[in-house]
Amino acid sequence: MRQSRDEILTSHAGSLPRPEELIDANRARESGMAIDESRFQDQIRASVSEVVRLQKQAGVSIPGDGEYGKSMGHKVNYRAWWSYSFQRLGGLELGTAGLYDMPAHRSRPGEVVLTSFADRRDRLKFATAYADPDSGITTGPRAALWPVCVSKLTYTGHAAIQSDIANFKAALQAAGVEEGFMTSIAPGSASRIANRYYKTDEEFLYACADAMREEYKAIVDAGLILQLDDPAIAENWDMVNPEPSVEALNHAIRGLPEDRIRFHLCWGSWHGPHTTDIAMRDIVDVMLAVKCRAYSFEAANVRHEHEWRVWQDVKLADGKLILPGIVSHATNVVEHPELVAERIVRFATLVGKERVIASTDCGLGGRVHSQIAWAKLEALAQGAALATRQLWR
């Protein structure tokens, strides 16, 4: 895994805006319309090649495939990073309720349970704002029905992940880029669906870990950097989850080379108040327990920017890297390069300049307009260049 040896490198959290033609094709495919599959695959291949070229042009040092292999059928979409796994796991079937229609669960002393998405404390506290279509709080159109596990989980996405890998590696080669990363959902986040087969939540969690491990291994074996997306580590606090999924995650990546893996933590990243987010200080040790080389986390939005101070007290283990969010999906305002540099220097001063890769809070695709997303990545690269001059002068 590359690190910032003589300059501040840049990357991002994964999702990038899709071309309108690809969004339209995904929407048709998701609705069950008959399409020319060969033409669709050519479209994805060309789109991945173009998004890698654009990242290089914007100054991104370590690009991704934009998560283009994860279907997004609308411009505003906060679930493709998760819902793609439903097509790659055997043992699931569509349930009778949507994600926000599931029943709430109440915790009791000595019995802490995970409640429903609609019953999040932040959603209840700001119920009027969440219900107002003009408030700006939206995660895009919702799937009518959410899947349920009804039999043994298996990984069935071998052809899909190999296609994603082939498209991305060809794009990297065409752009002359030496290293790229590909995202995959972590077990703790993948397992947040209904389960009617496994006896316990823990058993179901480890079944997700064993199934998704096949995807993790395929990415690493292909010579790419694996990024594990696991907002459940932080986000489940808003749903009162007592057990972050580090142990199951480490089980899923056992034996895989740590120096080819990075971990992404966020607080769900929807455009809401986030007043019930758990503090970074309370979960940083959980994050650092993940057996990987680098850690990506939100640090640029107004709810979590102040938490850079956590690294005044937390020691980053030898050989580890961080990818703090330096520009954010949470605002349409494009960060000034001088502010970008200031944020980078804060982290570099605390953990060492060679151990910082400047990144985004979360994925930009489906969250901000395409023009704004690319402007943010350009500002990130410009600010990294300013920080480089300050730190290596």
Q: Which pLDDT value is given to residue 137? A: 81
CA distance 190 to 156: 15
What share of the chain has pLDDT > 90, as a percent?
74
CA angle 24, 154, 78 (to 5 degrees): 35
* Mean pLDDT of the region 337-353: 98
| Mean pLDDT (the chain, rounded) | 92
On whether the CB atoms of residues 335 and 327 are closer than 8 A, the answer is yes
pLDDT above 90: residue 393: no
Q: How far apart are CA 223 and CA 179, in angstroms?
A: 9
Please count the other Cβ atoms lying within 10 Å of the Cβ belonging to residue 284: 19
Tell me how far apart the alpha carbons of residues 242 and 233 are, in angstroms, rounded to a whole number.
Answer: 10
Do residues 140 and 366 touch, judged by C-beta distance below 8 A? yes
- The residue with tokens 């005044």 is 312
Structure-model confidence comparison of residues 79 and 20, the more confident one = 20
Q: How confident is the model at residue 246 (pLDDT cuts 50, 70, 90)?
A: confident
**346-356 average pLDDT score:** 98
| List of E strands, the chain | 9-10, 89-94, 147-155, 181-185, 194-195, 225-229, 261-265, 294-297, 321-327, 357-360
Distance CA 168, CA 355 (A): 26
Residue 333: helix, strand or coil by DSSP?
coil
Side chain identity, residue 186: A
Q: How confident is the model at residue 237 (pLDDT cuts 50, 70, 90)?
A: low
Q: Are strands 194-195 and 181-185 parallel, antiparallel or unpaired?
A: unpaired
Tokens of 282: 């309370």
> CA 153, CA 193: separation in Å to the nearest integer?
13
The reported pLDDT for the residue numbered 378 is: 98
162 pLDDT higher than 60: yes
pLDDT computed for residue 242 by the predictor:
41
Write the pLDDT tens digit of every residue in 37-75.
Answer: 999 999 999 999 999 999 999 999 999 999 999 988 888
Mean pLDDT score, 98-117: 75
What pLDDT does 241 receive? 39
Residue 231: closest CA among 81, 16, 71: 81
Q: Evaluate whether 215 touches 88 at the Cβ level (below 8 Å).
A: yes
CB 293 within 8 A of CB 255: no
Looking at residues 151-178, what average pLDDT do you find?
98
The pLDDT of residue 239 is: 61
Out of 4-13, 108-117, 213-222, 307-316, least confident range = 108-117
Residue 167 pLDDT > 90:
yes
pLDDT at 291: 97
Q: What is the mean pLDDT of residues 97-118?
A: 75
Banded model confidence at residue 383, pLDDT cuts 50, 70, 90 = very high
CA 6 to chain centre: 27
Q: For 33-42, 129-138, 275-284, which range has the lowest pLDDT when averaged over its residues?
A: 129-138
Please report which confidence band the pLDDT of residue 144 belongs to, taking 50, 70 and 90 as the band edges: low
Instruction: Give the mean model confidence (pLDDT) for residues 375-380.
Output: 98
The secondary structure of 154-187, three-state, reads: EECCHHHHHHHHHHHHHHHHHHCCCCCEEEEECH
